[in-house]
Amino acid sequence: MNFIIIAILVFLGIMLALKMNNIRTKIAYILITIGIGFLLLTGFIVVSGKNLDTSAIDGISSAVKTYVVWFGQVSSNVMKVSSYVVNQEWRGDSETNSTS
């Protein structure tokens, strides 16, 4: 049921973005909507795998804590991979500021 709600929200966000006049605004809203949908979907998957009771306050706080910890670990891994990629020598020669 939650997948349906997330899909509807993403669809409505994309439809709202398509009503905009500027193409850059349309693309930005579509990417933001897809990103938020992705975060909601992954959050639902992460929390649903823990078998938490979301009808009680303790279950909801455990679900939020689980998602925040998971999101922090994902962000940390993305930063590590990004910094590794940036520090690589992508050119065959070691000259970076050649003017000849």
Tokens at 57, concatenated:
């306050």
| pTM for this entry | 0.51
Contact, 19 vs 33, CB < 8 A?
A: no
Below-70 pLDDT ranges, the chain: 1-3, 92-100
pLDDT tens digits, 14-25:
777 777 777 787
Average pLDDT, the chain: 78
Contact, 68 vs 46, CB < 8 A?
A: no
pLDDT at residue 80, as a whole number = 93
